[in-house]
Amino acid sequence: MTERVGIVFVSHSVLLAQGAVALAGQMAPSVRLIAAGGTDDDGIGTSFAKVMAGVGEADSGAGVVVISDLGSALLTAETVLDMLSDDERARVRVVDVPYVEGGIAASVAAETGADLAAV
């Protein structure tokens, strides 16, 4: 099986992240789609630990795209990026795109085998 770029959906809401993964999974069943939503106790907010774990889980070797719902989720994702090793950081892209539309487009691109830059 071809390694595909993984996608992490970072959201302030557990349910929103899970919903984005469920929707994207309908069109990208071969892609590692990870929900990193809510705080550590599943409240509203973001979790550094969930995002960091999600990046590790999503990476099959082809890289990871991280998509965030709101500004502070983007900041959490960027903080995770800063904490990665140079080798890991080279395989991760934190992108600022519309959450649902961008997430679906990235997932479909990954499903087709597109590389990290294209996804």
Answer for the pair 76, 96: CB distance below 8 angstroms, yes or no: no
Q: Of 4, 6, 9, 12, which is the active-site residue?
A: 12
Question: What are the structural domains of the chain?
Answer: 6-111 (3.40.50.510)
What is the percent of the chain with per-residue pLDDT over 70, rounded to a whole number?
99
Confidence bin at 2 (pLDDT 50/70/90):
confident
CB atoms within 10 A of CB 43: 11
- Phi, psi angles (nearest 5°) of residue 103: -65, -40
Tell me the pLDDT tens digit for each residue of 33-53. Answer: 999 999 999 999 999 999 999
Between residues 22 and 1, the one the model is more confident about: 22
- What band does 57 get if pLDDT is binned at 50, 70 and 90? very high
Q: Per-residue pLDDT tens for 61-80?
A: 999 999 999 989 999 999 99
Is 69 in contact with 10 (CB distance < 8 Å)?
A: yes
For 64, phi then psi, to 5°, come to: -140, 135
Task: Say which amino acid occupies 22.
Answer: A
Q: Is the pLDDT of residue 94 over 70?
A: yes
Look up the pTM and report it.
Answer: 0.96
Does the structure show a pLDDT above 80 at 1? no
Whether 12 is catalytic: yes
